[in-house]
Structure 1
C-alpha cells in the first residue's frame, strides 16, 4: 500500500524552531522522518510526499531517508500551497494514487498501532475511513484547535472545528479510496475537512475508533512541548526494569536523555561512557581510602543511571540494533565484575589478617550476579507471558538493585555486610527463578 503524506505547510507558529514544520526536530528527529517511519512500521511499501514551503530542503531530506531506509519516496510539489488549503495538496498527488491509500499529516505524531488499527478496517468502496480518538479528555489534544467529529452507527455524521455536539477527535490519519479526489473537486472549499464533510453527508466516511492510541498534532510550541513530554513518558514502564530502575534511575535517565537526543551522540557511545565510569569507580575502590570508596560509589550509581540512556536514545532516534544491545550487555557484565571485585579487594586489603572468607564472599557475589544476568532472558520472557495471561510479574531483582547496594556500601563503609547480602540475594534469586520457570512449564 502507498501512503500520502502532506508536508506543504509553512508552520508559521513554529517558524522560530525550524525552516519548515516537516523538518522540525522532535527529540532529535524531524517530524517528517517520524511520520515516514510510522507509515513503514505499519506496513506501507511506498510513500508519496506533497511539498510546498521549503520544498527543496524537504525533498533533500526525503531523498536521504529513502536511501537510508531502502523505501521508495516520491515527492510532488503543490504550487498552490501558499494560497490554498491542504485539500489542494491531496489533489496534487492524484496521478500517483489509483488504489486505496493511507493519508497522513507530516505534523501529526502517531504510533504505528494506531495506523494498523485503521488499516484493519477498510473504507466503504466509494469512501474513506478516519481514525477517531474518542477520549475527549486526551491531555495531548488542544480542544480549541482540534478538528471534532460526531459519529453515528460507526460512521462520521459531521466533522469540523468548533463542532457541537461531538464525541471524538480527528487524528489526521485516513484510509482513502480515489473517491476522495472527486469529493475535493466537488466542494468549493479547499480544505480536506470540507471534502470529508461532503462524503460524511453521503454516509461514505467510516469512523474507526483508536481511543487509547498515541497521537499528537504538533501545531505550535505548546503542542511540541506536550509531544516531547509524551514521547519521553513512553520510555517509562519497561517490563524488565527493577524497582530501583523504575523509581530512581529511569526518571533521572529520561531527564538526561531529553538533552542527549539533541546532539549527534550514539547509543554505543553512551554505553562506553557508562562503562568508563564503572571502571573508574572500581579503580577508586582498589586504590583504598574512605574518600575514594565513597566517590567510587557515587560514580557507580551515576553509571547505572546513564546506562539507561543508551536504550532511550536508541528508541527515540530509531537507532536500535542487535549489536548495540549485545554490546551493552557485555559491558554491563564486565562492569559488575569490576565493581564487585573492587569492593572485595577494598574489604580484604583493609581487614587485618586478610581473611579468606572475604574473598570467598566476593567470589560468590560475582558468580551470583553473573548467573542472575544469565537467567534473565528466559525469566523475563516467562514473566511477560504471565502478564499477558493477567498475572502479576512480581519483584524483579537485577542489576539496578545490585549497583544501588554497591553505592550504599561505598557511602556507609559497610562493605562486607553488603557483599554478603549481594552474594546471598543474587544466588537465592537464581534458585528461585529456576524453580519458578520450571513450574511454568
Structure 2
C-alpha cells in the first residue's frame, strides 16, 4: 500500500450486493437502499457496492486509513449496532466478526468459521481495523466478490475473533418469503421503551397499523405532523361551541391527533427521514394544539356560563404550556445537535447522572405528564360534561410542570 498521510482517517463500508434480493422492498425501501441509509446513519462516510465498485474501493483503501465495515445488503440492522462495532480499541490488530445467539432459523453460512463454545453464530458483519487494510486490498485485487469468499480469504491469513451483538436489532432476509416477517420485526422496534402502558395498549397499535399503510406512499413525516396539527386545531375549535356533542367531537379529534402523531416518528425512523427540522416541527405543533385546546375549552365554558374566571384559567393553562415548551426548547438547543427525536425525557442519560438525590422521582413524574395520555381523560370528561375539571387540571398541571422543570434544571443540577 501507499504511505497514508496522518489525519486521512475515514470510516468506510463495503456492501456485497445480491441482484436477486437487493430489489426486495422492506417497509418502503429496497434492501440495498435500506442498508446504505443504515450505514450513513451510523457515521460511515464512504460506501462501496461490490462487485460493481471494486476498483473505487481499492483506490480508497490505498489512499486513506481508517476502519472498514464489510457486510451484505441482505441484513436489517439497528445503526447503533454498527456504531458500537466501530467503537474498538485503537490497538486492535485482529478482524472482528459479529456473532449473535443461536436461533431456530438458519443463519448466514460461513463454512470457514469455527463456532465458539458459547453457542453463538455469525452475522455477515465484519470489521477490518486499519492494520488489516493491506490484506483487505489484496483480497479485492484477487477478485473476491462475496462476503463468504472475503471471510474465507481473511480467515486463512489472519486471526479473526468474535464480537457479540449487545442486544441490538438485526434480521437476515434470506428471500421473498422473509419480507413480511422482516417488516413485522422492524415495526416492533418502533415501540419505544418510554411508551406508557396505555400508549402501548391503544395508541401505538393503531399508529403502527396506519404507518404500515403509509410506508409505501410518498407521504412524508412532516406532512403527517401538519395533518395532526390541523385535526387538533379543528378539535380545539369545536370546544368553543357550548354544546355537549361539539365537545365530545372535539375530544375525539384531539385523541385522534395524538394517536396519528405517533405515525410521523414511525415513518421517519422506518425510512431514515429523521431531521432536526422535523423534530422541532413535531414539538412545536404538539404544543400549538395544546394552546388551542385550552383556549377553546376556556372560550366554550365562558360562552356557556358567562363566567370570566374560565378565561383566566385558560390563560394560566396557556402560560404553563408556553413556558414549559420554551424551557424545553432552550435546554434542547443546548444539548441536542443531531436529528430527532428531540424530546424523549426532561433529562438525558448524562444529565440524569448529575441529578441530586430526590430529583429522579420528579423527572419520572414529569415524563409521565409529558406523554399526552391526558387525551383519554379529556374524552371521559367530555362525556361527563365536566370540561371545567379538565381546565382546572390544565391550569394547575401545566404550571406545576413548568416550575418542576425549572427546579430540575436550576436546582437539580441537570445541566
Assess same fold via TM > 0.5. yes
Query: 2:206 & 2:406 partners in 1: Cα distance?
Result: 33
Q: Is the 8 A contact 2:17 2:50 kept in 1?
A: yes
Q: What CA distance in whole angstroms lies between the structure 2 residues aligned with 1:382 and 1:39?
A: 28
The partner residue of 2:102 within 136, 145, 149 is 136
- The structure-2 alpha-carbon separation of the partners of 1:280 and 1:203, relative to structure 1 and needing over 3 Å to count, comes to same
Q: CA deviation at 1:213?
A: 2.5
* Distance in structure 1 (CA, Å) of the matches to 2:46 and 2:383: 57
Identify the match of residue 374 of structure 1 among 326, 334, 352: 326
Structure-1 residue corresponding to 2:208: 254
| Residue 414 of structure 1 pairs with residue 370 of structure 2 | no
Structure 2 regions of 5+ residues with no counterpart? 1-9, 333-344
Please name the residue that 2:16 is paired with.
Answer: 6
Match of 1:394 in 2: 364
SS in 2 for 1:235: coil
- Measured in 1, the distance between the counterparts of 2:257 and 2:46 equals 42
| CA–CA distance in structure 2, aligned partners of residues 192 and 382 of structure 1 | 42
Which residue of 1 is the match for residue 338 of structure 2? none
Question: What is the rounded CA distance, in whole Å, between the counterparts of 1:205 and 1:399 in structure 2?
Answer: 46
2:191 corresponds to 1:236: yes
User: CA 1:331–1:224 in structure 2 vs 1: closer, same or farther (change >3 Å)?
Assistant: same
Runs of at least 5 residues in structure 1 that lack an aligned partner in the other structure: 11-20, 52-74, 77-89, 150-157
Q: In 2 relative to 1, CA 130–383 (structure 1 residues): closer, same or farther, beyond 3 Å?
A: closer
The 5 A counterparts of 1:291-440 are: 291-351=245-305, 354-377=306-329, 378=331, 380-382=345-347, 384-387=349-352, 393-395=363-365, 396=367, 397-398=369-370, 400-440=372-412
1:84-140 Cα distance to aligned partner (Å, 9 max, x none) = xxxxxx899767754763311011122333223333447986x7431222x235xxx
The residue number in structure 1 matching 2:220 is: 266
Aligned 1:41-52 pairs, distance under 5 A? 41-50=41-50
Return the TM-score normalized by structure 2: 0.77
The answer to whether 1:196 aligns with 2:151 is yes
Question: What secondary structure does 1:403 align onto?
Answer: helix
Shift of 1:346: 2.2
Superposition deviation, residue 414 in structure 1: 0.9
2: CA distance, partners of 1:363 / 1:375: 18
Match of residue 211 from structure 1? 166
When the two structures are aligned, how many residues end up with a matched partner? 375
2: CA distance, partners of 1:430 / 1:27: 39
Contact 1:3 1:101 in 2 (8 A): yes
In structure 2, do the counterparts of structure 1 residues 220 and 425 end up closer, same or farther at CA, with 3 Å as the change threshold?
A: same
User: Is contact 2:75–2:172 with CA below 8 Å preserved after alignment?
Assistant: yes
1:261 shift after superposition: 1.4
Deviations along 1:184-228, whole A, 9 cap, x unmatched? Answer: 9999x9974366356546662232232322221111345433432
Q: What do the CA deviations read for 1:344-376 (whole angstroms, capped 9, x no partner)?
A: 22222222xx12222222222222233333333
Matched position secondary structure for 1:48: strand
- Give the CA deviation at 1:399: 5.9
Q: Does 1:116 align with 2:83?
A: yes
Computed over aligned residues only, the root mean square deviation of the Cα atoms, in angstroms, reads 3.6
Q: Tell me the distance in 1 between the aligned counterparts of 2:201 and 2:318.
A: 25
Query: Is contact 1:123–1:175 with CA below 8 Å preserved after alignment?
Result: no
Q: Secondary structure at the match of 1:224?
A: helix
Q: How does 1:175-194 map to 2 (within 5 A)?
A: 175-176=127-128, 177-179=133-135, 192-193=147-148
Q: CA deviation at 1:318?
A: 1.9
Q: Is the 8 A contact 2:240 2:301 kept in 1?
A: no
Q: Aligned-pair distance for 1:300? A: 0.9
Q: What is residue 39 of structure 1 aligned with on the other side?
A: 39
Indicate the SS of the match to 1:348.
helix
Higher mean alpha-carbon deviation, 217-226 vs 23-32, is at 217-226
